[in-house]
Amino acid sequence: MGYFVLHIFHSSVILWIILLIALEWAVKSLGCPKECSCNTWEVNCKGKKLANFPLSVPLATKKLILSHNNLSVLPQLEMSFLNELIYLDCSHNQLKFNSFVALPGIDKLTYLDLSFNRLTSITPDTFSNLKKLILLNLSNNPGLVEIKERAFHNNRLLTFVDLSGCSLSYLLAEIFKDLHNLHIMGIKNNPWNCNCNFLEFSNWLKKTAVLYLSPFFLDAEKITCNKPDHLAGLTVLEAEENLHHSCLVHLEANDFSFMALIAFCIFSGGTLVAWLVGIITVIYYHPILKVDDESDDEEYRMI
């Protein structure tokens, strides 16, 4: 009898634990963070002076607005549960990502706004888990000085990327080579260093602008060179022509004449050397009779 009662009590405890877990999940799925306002699938925490990611964000949330707060990190664990999230606005915060940390894999996320933060570098890991990303705003991160090659290698659906108002001086064209859906890109108000290393990227800018036959770049007249001094103020597309002239080899008529003269001298010198070698060879191998041999021949004839 005692065993039976103990068994029932044990089963009840397990049942209560399961119910409590289920209740907690239900609260997370249907509740709303006390600092925020919720409307159907949207959670708005804008301007609430949050220093930490809000608790109890409903798991079914599709649009999450965290702008104008004091967030410094985005927690991996909490965000990984937001599988239905499509729209995430984290602009105007204090976010600064570690170079080796990747944002959590939110499978359905298509819009991400990280503008007006403290980002310094974008690596191949940063957005590697966001394969459905379509619109990405990284503008006005004054500390953003570097975007690594293959930074967007897993974001091939990107159609909009805004890098305006950062501290970028140089970009590799290879960063964007796999983004075949890219239609709009903002790169204005950056201190571009239009030296010979910039030529490949400027070529890509020019070809891409022609390819799409539409205003591909946001405010193209504001995409200007900061260095070197003689190109400062020119748009990067205008500077591209100067870079072609100064960085690539260009031959004029005098250059061709000089090259022809050098080729003639080389040919003439080679011919002369070959003639001298031939003469020396003939002289060296031709049989020459010695004086003693000639006298022996004369005595033989006299006999």
Fold of domain 36-190: 3.80.10
pTM for this predicted structure: 0.72
Answer for the pair 164, 142: CB distance below 8 angstroms, yes or no.
Answer: no
Residue 58, judged by CB atoms within 10 A of its CB (0-12, 13-18, 19+), counts as: buried
3-class DSSP state of 158: coil
Residue 220 is predicted with a pLDDT of 73
- pLDDT confidence tier of residue 287, bands split at 50, 70 and 90: low
3-class DSSP state of 283: helix
3-class DSSP state of 65: strand
The C-alpha atoms of residue 275 and residue 273 are separated, in whole angstroms, by 5
pLDDT above 90 covers a percentage of the chain that reads 40
Residue of 163 and 294 predicted with greater confidence: 163
Q: What tens digit of pLDDT does each residue of 57-87 get?
A: 999 999 999 999 999 999 988 898 999 999 9
Whether the per-residue pLDDT at 41 is higher than 80: the answer is yes
The C-alpha atoms of residue 231 and residue 256 are separated, in whole angstroms, by 29
Residue 27 is predicted with a pLDDT of 43
Q: How much is the average pLDDT of 98-127? A: 91
* Residue in the block written with tokens 């009898």: 1
Q: What tens digit of pLDDT does each residue of 212-243 get?
A: 545 667 677 788 888 888 888 888 878 877 77
Answer for the pair 194, 219: CB distance below 8 angstroms, yes or no.
Answer: no
Please, which residues have CB within 8 angstroms of residue 225's CB and are 6 or more apart in sequence? Answer: 192, 193, 194, 231, 232, 233, 234, 235, 236, 239
Whether the per-residue pLDDT at 284 is higher than 80: the answer is no
Highest-confidence segment of 51-60, 270-279, 281-290: 51-60
Q: How much is the average pLDDT of 179-185? A: 89
The C-alpha atoms of residue 133 and residue 154 are separated, in whole angstroms, by 9
Peptide bond into 124 cis (omega under 30): no
DSSP annotation string for 84-152: T--EEE--SS-----TT------TT--EEE--SS---EE-TTTTTT-TT--EEE--S-TT--EE-TTTT
Angle, nearest 10°, between helix axes 236-247 and 199-212? 130
DSSP letter at 228 equals S
Q: What tens digit of pLDDT does each residue of 153-176 get?
A: 999 999 999 999 999 998 998 898
Whether the per-residue pLDDT at 208 is higher than 50: the answer is yes
Residue 115 is predicted with a pLDDT of 97
For residue 220, report the phi and psi dihedrals to the nearest 5 degrees.
-60, -30
